[in-house]
Chain A
C-alpha cells in the first residue's frame, strides 16, 4: 500500500465516521415511540448507533494498518489519470448547470468534448467533431427513438426537422 493509498484509506474512514455521527445525531431528535408503537426515529437511531460503532472500529483498524512506509514505497510510480478522473467528475457536476441555458446539444457536446480531450489529449479537433457527433447521435436516439423529453432550442429543432 502506498502512502497516497494510506491517506485515502484514512480519509475515507474519517468521512464514513463523520457521516455516521451526523446521521446518528440527526436521528436522536426524532420520536422513538414505545416498544408497542415504535416511532419514526427508532430504526434510524439503531442504524446510526451501529454505524457509529462500526465506522469507529474501522477507523481504528485503518489507523493501525497505515504506518509510515519506506521512501521507495511512497515513490512508486502511480499509473493514474487523476486529471481525467477529476475532469469526468466535474463534467457530471457541471452538466446539470449548463443543460438548461445551453440546451441539450451544446451542453452534451461540451461535456463530451472535455471528457474526450482528457482521455485522449493531443487530438482536440478530432475530439471536437466526435463530441458533436456524439451529442447529435444521443439526441436522435433518446429524443426521437426513445421519446425522452430533452431541453431543446433552435439547434435541437433543426436536428429534429432533419431526421424527421
Chain B
C-alpha cells in the first residue's frame, strides 16, 4: 500500500512538471473539441495525432492521449445537452434527457451534473485502474503463450459480438486486419511474407497510415457527402450552470452507480464507453422511483450515463497496461503509440516503465480536474467551435493527416498507404462495415500469431495442452458463450431483453 502511495506521489511529481501539464491541457482541450465536433471521435483524433506524438517522449504521448480520451467524453456531453447533437457515440444517450432539460431551461444544470459526474467517475475509475491493473499484471506475469492466445482470441470474439454490426461483416474485418498484420518479415524465421518485392513492406504495413487513413481521411470523405445542416448555437450564462439542491440529491447515487458500472464494462472488449452509457440508462430507469420522467428530462438519465462513459475509459486502460492487449479500438491506437516509441507492451510494462505508468495515472486525475475547472466556464467557447465552416475544417484535418504521416518516416509509400486506406475505410463505411475491428485485429494479430506458434512449439503441437488450462478454458468458454447466447436469443426472441441498441458507428468512435 505504501509502495502504491509512494509511486503515485512520484507520478504526480512527474505529471505536475510544466511540460506534462501542457500535454495534459493540450490533450483535454483537443479531446473536448473532438467530443464537440460530430463525426470526429476520440479514436479519429488519436489516430490523426499519432504521428506528432513521436516528437514527444512516451510519457508525454500517453498523457496527451489520456487527455483526449477523457476530454472527448466531456465534450460530447456538451453538444448532446445543449444542441441535441451527440459529438461522439458515447453521448447519444445523454441527448435523450439532457436536451429535454435544455428545453425546460435546465441545460446549464445538466452540464454541471454531467461534468461533476464525469469527474467523480474519472476519480473512481483511476483508483480501480490502479488496483485492478496491478493485481492483473501480477497474475499475468505467470501467463504463458497459451494464456495470451486465449485472451487474444476471446477478446476478438467478444469485440466481434459487441461492436453492433452483422457478425459476418465483423468477422471479415477482423480477418482482414489479421491478414494485413502478417505483411513483412516473419519475426521467427526471417522470411518475407506478402511483400511482393517492395522493400519498404519488409518492415510490415505501418500502423500509422492505416489508422489515419481508415479513421482520419475516411471520416472526412464520409462527412463531405453528408449535407451540412446549419446549426443555431446558443449561449449559457454562468448563473444557469448551478443545479438545485434536489437535482444534486437525485444525481449523486446515479453518478456512483454509473462509475462502478462503467468501470466494470470498460474491462470488456468492444466499444465499452457506449455500452456503459446505454446500460447505465437502463439501470437508472429500472430502479428509479420516477421512471415516467425518463425521456422527458430526468437528471438521473444525465448523471448516470455521463459518469459511466468516463469510468469506462479508466476500465479500458486496464487490459492495455496489465496485459498489453487493447480491448477497444482507441486503446489499439494507444498501443500503437507505445510501440512507435519502442516500448514493449505486456504484463511487465507496469514494472519496466513504472515512471510512465504512474505519471499517466496521475495525469489522468489532473486532466479530469482540468476538464472540470475549464469546461464549465468555457462551455460557450467550445460550443462555438460548431460555427467553424466545414469547408475549412475538413481540409485542415486532411492536411494534419498528410503532414502527420509524412513526419514519421518522410516516406511517400506511407502517404500512398494513407490515401489507399482512406479510400478503403470510406468504402467500408459506405457499405455498412465497421472498420474498428480491422484496426484492433491488426494490432492484436501479431500477438495471437506469436502466441499460437509458441504454444504449438512448447506443447509439440498438442492442441489439448493449449486449450485445457484453467485460464484458457475460462476464456474460450466466455468466447463460446458470446457466440451462442445471441444466437439462442435470436431463436427464442421472447427472451431478448428490450434495450436501446448501440449506435452503428459506436465502435468507430471509441
Contact = CB atoms under 8 A, between A and B. Distances in A.
Contact of A12 (B220, B428, B449): B428
A79 B227 contact: yes
Interface string A79-105: 111101100110111011101000000
Q: Is the interface of A mostly helix, strand, loop or mixed?
A: helix
B495 interface: no
Interface string B409-445: 0101001101100110011101111000000000000
B296 to A, nearest CB: 33
A92 B179 contact: no
B134 interface: no
Interface string A144-164: 001111110000000000000
Contacts of B453: 38, 42-43
B186 A40 contact: yes
A38 B418 contact: no
A116 B172 contact: no
A41 B186 CA distance: 9
B217 A116 contact: no
B193 interface: yes
Contacts of B418: 92
Nearest to B407: A148
Contact of A38 (B412, B415, B456): B456
Contacts of A129: none
A44 B227 CA distance: 42
Contact of A30 (B191, B430, B459): B191
Interface stretch (B117-125, B251-259, B393-401): B393-401
A112 B182 CA distance: 35
B452 A38 contact: yes
B460 A8 contact: no
B461 A35 contact: yes
Given A39-B189, A88-B221, A23 B194 contact: yes
B427 A8 contact: yes
Contacts of B427: 8, 12
Contacts of B171: 50, 54
B221 A115 contact: no
B485 interface: no
A81 B338 CA distance: 38
Interface in A26-83: 26-27, 30-31, 34-44, 47-48, 50-51, 54-55, 57-58, 61, 79-82
A37 B194 CA distance: 21
A3 interface: no
Contact of B449 (A43, A50, A120): A43
Given A47-B175, A54-B168, A112-B399, A142 B457 contact: no
Nearest to B422: A92
Contacts of B460: 35-36
Given A23-B194, A79-B225, A9 B431 contact: yes
B456 A36 contact: yes
22 contacts: A12-B428, A12-B430, A36-B456, A36-B459, A38-B452, A39-B189, A40-B188, A44-B182, A47-B182, A48-B179, A51-B179, A81-B224, A85-B426, A89-B419, A92-B419, A95-B402, A96-B415, A97-B412, A108-B399, A119-B395, A142-B52, A142-B403
Given A38-B452, A96-B415, 16 more contacts: A9-B432, A12-B427, A12-B433, A31-B191, A36-B461, A40-B186, A42-B453, A44-B182, A57-B168, A58-B168, A92-B415, A112-B399, A115-B395, A116-B395, A138-B399, A146-B52
Interface of A: 5, 8-9, 12-13, 16, 19, 23, 26-27, 30-31, 34-44, 47-48, 50-51, 54-55, 57-58, 61, 79-82, 84-85, 88-89, 91-93, 95-97, 99, 108, 111-112, 115-116, 119-120, 130, 134, 138, 142, 146-151
